[in-house]
Amino acid sequence: MKQFKNYVDGRWVGSDRRFADVNPVDGERIGDVHEADRATVDEAVRAARRALAGAWGRTSPTDRSALLYRIADEIDRRSEDFLEAEMQDTGKPLSMVRSIDVPRGAANFRAFADLLKTAPLESHMLHLPGGARALNYAVRKPLGVIGVISPWNLPLLLLTWKVAPALACGNAVVAKPSEETPGTATLLAEVMDAVGLPPGVFNLVHGFGAGSAGELITHHPDIDAITFTGESATGSAIMRAAADGVKPVSFELGGKNAAIVFADCDFEKMLDGMMRAVFLNSGQICLCSERVYVERPLYEKFCGALASRVRRLKLGRPRDADTDMGPLISAEHRDKVLGYFRLAREEGARVVVGGGAPAFHDDRDGGFWVEPTVLTGLAESARCVREEIFGPVCHVAPFDR
């Protein structure tokens, strides 16, 4: 069994309070996650503050840029470990983890390392009437200790997308990954350790949101800013918590994207794009399309063609070469998505394809799978058309020009 510990002030810190990390493919326990308590979060914040007051606070952009490249190189060097951890935590196909999650994890550090080298320093001389001159210049300063809270759907990609810019700008970080996906975040802490990031600059705490490490971060008086990706409702709660200390927040929240299909499109190309837009990562991406509007002359043909493509999708294990789609992240999330399928029927939807949970008659029946699903016939006011489902599902409706 793996042990996912907290990384605080350059040391691994365990906890008596532990919860299970589970593989969504079959529901098997991968390991134990050590939940950070208040004392551990406090120590992480103090360590971050000490790092800022020490040598880290005096690093030059050139030094930080070099360090970010080293972090990216180390992620690349350990890419097989990252691939395995991401697949175990999420059940995503290897093809996706290999082409998107892990390379983007490294690229995020390179992108901000590049930016650091070219960030302009604004300064200009003003010539005032009478021959006087005034020098105007901008000073770029770190915000301080940044609380980073990230979701489970693209665990490494979205965590590094926040950590890399924070470090690039000279901040120190207390990061909390989703309770569902502690694996690659813990590896990232190992990477920080291996490249010699000074203790306290990057701290990792594990736990849940409300009543746990997430809330301890957002309410912490000595954290200077919060950056968060996740559900809109969680964003509201965090904004309320941040209001107390008037902390700046940076959010990327939920979505309910619409796709529009015009009758004169290149049909096969459009269909390829639509399959990706709706079903990539089992629909668990904020920019997946859950509402599809098709110009009326193409509507029947589109519904038939989409349904036949969906029937051919192969639900499989991450390393199977023919896998198109993996499971959902957790039992709780599967039940939520299945609840929306039930609600869609109550709201009067026609289920064109899917609409339930598959049966594999093997160990995957212990996992968290739902069928890729296409719905039609709902009114614009239906909850299934208005609320983010975050699963492999879309509702298709016709429109006229």
Catalytic member of 190, 231, 252, 388: 252
Q: Which residues pair with 20 in a beta bridge?
A: 32
Retrieve residue 192's tokens: 């920080």
Give dist(CA 9, CA 44) in Å, integer: 6
Please state the closest distance from residue 105 (CB atom) to ligand NAD, in A: 14
CB of residue 373 vs ligand NAD: minimum separation in angstroms? 18
Residues within the interface to ligand NAD (CB under 6 A): 149-153, 158, 176, 178-179, 208-210, 214-215, 218, 229-231, 234, 237-238, 252-255, 286, 388, 390
β-strands 225-229, 202-204: how paired?
A: unpaired
CB 226 within 8 A of CB 238: yes
For ligand NAD, which is the closer residue by CB, 152 or 340?
152
Least CB distance to ligand NAD at residue 304 (A): 29
Annotation marks residue 295 as catalytic: no
The least CB distance from residue 30 to ligand NAD, in Å, is: 18
Task: State in angstroms the smallest separation of the CB of 173 from ligand NAD.
Answer: 14
What ranges in 317-371 are assigned the alpha helix state H? 331-346
Structural contact between residues 68 and 167, judged by C-beta atoms closer than 8 angstroms: yes
Q: Could you tell me the smallest distance in angstroms from the CB atom of residue 232 to ligand NAD?
A: 6
- Residue showing the smallest CB distance to ligand NAD in the complex: 209
Look at residues 306, 304, 298 and name the one whose alpha carbon lies nearest to residue 399.
Answer: 298
33 versus 382: smaller Cβ distance to ligand NAD: 33
The least distance separating ligand NAD from the CB of residue 100, rounded to whole angstroms, comes to: 13
> Is 112 or 390 the residue whose CB approaches ligand NAD more closely?
390
Residue 174, SS3 per DSSP:
strand
Euclidean distance between CA atoms 240 and 226, whole angstroms: 12
- For tokens 């110009």, the residue is 295
282, 325 contact by CB (below 8 A): yes
Residue 169 bears catalytic tag: no
Q: How far is the CB of 130 from ligand NAD (least distance, A)?
A: 52
Which DSSP symbol is given to 198?
P
Q: List the structure tokens of 340.
A: 């929306």
Q: Could you give the residue ranges of the DSSP H alpha helices within 169-211?
A: 183-194
How does 256-278 read in b/e, with b if 16+ C-beta sit within 10 Å? bbebebeeebeeeebbeebbebb
- Classify 353 as helix, strand or coil: strand
Beta sheet of 202-204, edge-to-edge order: 11-13, 6-8, 202-204, 172-176, 145-149, 225-229, 249-252
Q: Which is nearer to ligand NAD, 172 or 217 (CB)?
A: 217
Choice among 169, 286, 288, 394 that is catalytic: 286
Which among 13, 12, 18, 46 has a CA at the least distance from the CA of 220? 46
Are residues 400 and 295 in contact, defined by beta-carbon separation less than 8 angstroms? Answer: yes
Nearer to ligand NAD, 179 or 371 (CB): 179
**Could you give phi then psi for residue 47, rounded to 5 degrees?**
-65, -40
Active site residues: 252, 286
